[in-house]
Amino acid sequence: MIDDTILFYLITKREVGAAKVHAGASPGWLFAYWFLNTMEWFRYFGIGQQTGWQDGRSFGHAKTYTLSFFRSFDTRTPPLLTYIVLRTPGELTLQLRSGLGLGLRYRLTLTEPRARTRTSERRVPHQIREVPYSNRTPPSPTPNILNQDKLCTRMSSSQLKQSPVCIADLEDHAKTKLNQMTYEYYHCGANDQETVKDNLEAYRRYKLRPRVLRDVSTVNTSTTLFGTEYSLPLGIAPSAMQRLAGGNGELDTSRAAARAGVPMCLSTFATTSLEEVIAAGREVSKQENMPENDYWLQLYVYQNRQTSEKLVKRAEAAGFSALVLTVDSPWMGKRYNELRNNFMLPAHLELGNFKGMGVKTYGELETLKRQGKAVDPTELEAALAAKNVNDASLSWDMAIDWLRSITKMKIIVKGLITEEDALLALDHKVDAIWISNHGGRQLDGSVSTLDALPEIARVAKGKVPILFDGGVTRGTDILKAVALGADMAFIGRSVLWGLAYDGQAGVELALGLLRSEFELGMALSGCAKVGDIKRELLGVVRADGYGLAKL
């Protein structure tokens, strides 16, 4: 790769600064520009001024600027020089296409202009105006959101010594403390992880339309669900095997939830028994002289109904107020990282909800076997014979009617992302609908939960509470979810990052960060209370790329 330094004014006829051109054939590059400029076959169109280094459309810490050249004798023809995009600080990507369809790519590195001399009268421009991409050139690929957490600038090694100031910081800290198997188990999703990425990316498609000159001297973030008042429309979603994150796992989460005044949904596959989890939260409520916190049990229905029924009865006896029936997992999704890492529960941990039940699930026995523990082959056969596996034949009538017959707890159906299923849920008189795609861990390529939310809210809002999870890492994410119709948003991975960072205190920090960001987002949007958050607060970018379309 040959490098040549030219002045950018050779291209723009304006002195913007020095540019370093990287091209496969440097003489060809210079000849092309000499030829195009001297023959005047091209003219520059759309220049404004050089973009300020602090401004511009953000791609994390990078900016995007676009330039365009057209044939001077016929502006109806498509531009040959289709775009120049700054992708990383100081770098531009240039694509040139010839009339024969041949394409050349160049990378230019811009430097800030040298100090002006007294003999020069030219003024260095300060901004470059953005112009649309050519239809002939596809946009550059979306950056890897899994690695950038919605394009937030990541912490450097020196900054990791500082306290986290956002959920992305918590994840950075967690990554340094967790082994690869555990971090990827929590972080990753199914197959190519398209749904994981889209859950995060969806929030960027909805833009806030803040209202001003409204009294937000006091902002009330509290909300009511099932007749109970919570400190904000945020809850803790079920996440399996939390002791993998370190500390006391689900016990730390329970205590943090009780102190924060938010509901907690416990996973069937917790590494702490449901009785211990609710007792830990009740103790905190008593010590803090607070109302008792609400606890819900997430439930998989096994083919062997007796196994599931025992869990339901135990939860009700312990004081759980709702069952959250997971319906998006008749089969388990394929997660490449778990296969590559040979994921298994470490030998010192166990699935607390099955301890002492006198039953062994097939998955539990397989884990024991992979841990190197002795497992009688007849036990595996017995687990299959006992049908202690998820029931893939479960139907609406079968599931809801059966649960109604064995418990008085509220029944919440988790895993809906379509209007059709929401209508069926209403027909079966469920107590709430939980929009979820399992954090992108089941069907890869399915719709993001935020995009599914308006469709379900259209038929269910006001009839039953609408719960929601998927990619919530900002206070404004909660704000957007509520504006689109959710009564409460839930977080899973953010809790796990807090656990890994500092146990109970880390979970409290995660909840506190989201609470303060949500409160700030409300204030800056002109909302003094949760009831002020309406659909009109949001817009989407128009299809032509100009302006917002109101919802």
Q: How buried is 38 (Cβ within 10 angstroms: 0-12 exposed, 13-18 middle, 19+ buried)?
A: exposed
The token duo for 509 is 């920090």
**What average pLDDT does range 297-326 have in this prediction?**
95
pLDDT surpasses 50 at 266: yes
Active site residue 438: yes
The token duo for 385 is 């014979």
The model's confidence at residue 138, banded by pLDDT at 50, 70 and 90, is: very low
* Pair 281, 264: CB distance under 8 Å: yes
Domains recognised in the chain with CATH numbers = 2-141 (no CATH), 221-533 (3.20.20.70)
* Pair 389, 302: CB distance under 8 Å: yes
Euclidean distance between CA atoms 499 and 187, whole angstroms:
14
Euclidean distance between CA atoms 353 and 341, whole angstroms:
25
Report CA torsion sign: 357, 361, 364, 366.
positive
**pLDDT digit string (tens) for 176-211?**
999 999 999 999 999 999 999 999 999 999 999 999
pLDDT surpasses 80 at 123: no
First to last CA, the chain: 50
Euclidean distance between CA atoms 525 and 357, whole angstroms:
51
Q: For position 477, what pLDDT does the model report? A: 99
Q: How far is CA 392 from the centre of its chain?
A: 28
pLDDT surpasses 50 at 347: yes
Give 254's contacts (C-beta < 8 A, 6+ positions apart).
264, 277, 278, 280, 281, 284, 295
Tell me the helix, strand and coil percentages in the chain, rounded to 5.
40, 20, 45
Sort strands 322-326 and 295-299 into parallel, antiparallel or unpaired. parallel
Q: For position 13, what pLDDT does the model report? A: 33
Q: Which of 173, 187, 348, 438 is catalytic?
A: 438
